[in-house]
Homo-oligomer: A and B are copies of this chain.
Amino acid sequence: MKGDTIYKRTYNRMIVYLGELKIGDALDSENVLKSKLTASRTTIRKVLQEFELKQLIVIKSTKKTLLRKPKAKDSFPRAETLSNAARIEKKFLEWMLRADPKPGDIINELELARQFGVSTSGIREFLNRFSRFKLIERRPNSGWCFQGFTEDFALELFEVRELFEMRSAAAFATLPDNAIAWNELHVLKIDHKNLLRNINKDFHNFSDIDERFHQLVNNASMNRFIVDFYDLISLIFHYHYQWNKVDERKRNKAAILEHLDYIEALFSRDPKRIEVACKKHFISARNTLLSSLKTPLPVS
C-alpha cells in the first residue's frame, strides 16, 4: 500500500544511465549506483535484477556488463513516477483553477478524496502542508475554509515580497566579485536579450525567466525565510499566469525591459540605483496582478 513510484523512478534513471554506456562496458558498483541514481541499495538491486531478467545486462558475481542498450520508450510514464503527494498537489492546483473557489467556500476532505480518487489521509496531509500559503484555513472539527486570492491577499503578498526583495537586492550588490551569482546574472541578462529579440513568438517563455531571475536575487539574501517565501510567490504567479492572458505579450515585453534595467543596476552595485530599478519593477508588477484580479475568469 505504499506505491512503487520510487522503483519506477529508479528504473527510468537506470535506463538513462545505461544509455550513456557502450555495449560491453562494466556498470558501476551498487554503492556507486546508489548515489548516482539516489535510491537505496535495496531498490538498485531490484532494478538490476529486472534488467538482467530482460537480458539488457549480465551479472556475473562482481562484474556487471551491458549487453544491449535499453530504449528510452521502455521507461515508465512520467505520471507513474510521481509520488502520491506530488500527484495530489498537481490535482489540487488544477482543481483550484477549474472550480475557482470563492473566499468563504468550504472544502471538505472526503469530497476531494473522492474527486481525486485518493485516500483522505493523502488529502489531509496535503491540505495541512498547503495551508502554509494562507490560501486555506483549517476549521477544527469541521472542514477547510478557502480564503481566496483576493485583492487584500495580493497586496499583503506584494508588501512582503517588496520588503524581501529590496533587502535581497541590496545584499546582491555586496556579493564578492568571484561569486557565481554574477555569472548567473550575466547568463540571465543574455537570456533576457534573446527573449526580447523573439518576443512576438516566445513571449510566454517569460514566466520561467522571471522566476529564475527573482529567485537568483532572493537567494543572495542567504536567509531561509526570505528564500522560502519565494515558494508562495512562484505558486501564485504560476497560478495567475494560467488565466491572465490579456495583453500578455505587451506586459511581458515591458517587464523584460524593467528586468534589464534592474540587472544593469545590480551590476553597477550602486545601492540607490538598485533601489530605484527594483521599486519601479514592483510597481508595475503589482499593477499587473491587481488589474488581472479584476478581470473575470474566461468561461471555459
Contacting residues of chain A (146-203) with chain B, CB-CB under 8 angstroms: 153, 156-157, 159-160, 163-164, 167
When the two chains form the complex, which single residue of B40, B132, B153, B159 contacts A132, counting CB atoms closer than 8 Å?
Answer: B132
A148 CB → nearest B CB, Å: 12
A229 to B134, CA, bound (A): 12
Residues from chain B with a CB closer than 8 A to the CB of A31 are none
Q: Are B223 and A156 in contact (CB under 8 A)?
A: yes
Segment among A73-81, A121-129, A269-277 that sits at the interface with chain B: A121-129
Q: Are A157 and B225 in contact (CB under 8 A)?
A: yes
A94 CB → nearest B CB, Å: 22
Q: Convert A187-230 into 0s and 1s, putting 1 for each residue whose CB lies closer than 8 angstroms to a CB of B.
A: 00000000000000000000000000000000001111110110
Interface residues on A, range: 20 to 34
DSSP class of A's interface residues: helix, strand, loop or mixed? helix
Residues from chain B with a CB closer than 8 A to the CB of A134 are 224-225, 228
When the two chains form the complex, which single residue of B6, B128, B129, B223 contacts A141, counting CB atoms closer than 8 Å?
Answer: B6
Residues from chain B with a CB closer than 8 A to the CB of A163 are 163-164, 167
A296 adjacent to chain B (CB < 8 Å): no
When the two chains form the complex, which single residue of B128, B157, B223 contacts A160, counting CB atoms closer than 8 Å?
Answer: B223
